[in-house]
Copies of this chain bind each other. A is one copy, B any other.
Amino acid sequence: MEENKECCHKKKERAEKEYRDLINRLSRIEGQVRGIKRMVEEDVYCTDILIQVSAVNAALNSFNKVLLANHIRSCVAEDIREGKEETIDELVGVLQKLMK
């Protein structure tokens, strides 16, 4: 994991395959949100919109699962091997937020 600290934020250069997958997922999600906007514009009935929104939630949740799995297998595992303990606290912290 190439880790340069240009700005205050740590960076993570991802393999092309992971990068492509994450971007494609987000493009689909963006399209779904636009689709829901059209449903509101076309006076579609409430329950149909509610179901679509929960589908977007599921897609975002799935995105997060993939990203988290990659993060643990790469950043977390590598940092622990290199003795960078702060990554453990970082992982625990983000999980506390995700597990609301």
Contact = CB atoms under 8 A, between A and B. Distances in A.
Given A65-B95, A97-B51, A99-B98, A46 B71 contact: yes
Interface in A26-74: 26-27, 29-30, 33-34, 36-37, 40-51, 53-54, 56-57, 60-61, 63-65, 67-73
B95 A68 contact: yes
Number of copies of this kind of chain in the complex:
4
Nearest to A56: B60
Q: Interface size bucket, A side?
A: 35 or more
A30 B37 CA distance: 9
Given A37-B23, A68-B50, A61 B30 contact: no
Given A23-B37, A27-B37, A71 B95 contact: no
Interface string A4-44: 00000111111000010011001101100110110011111
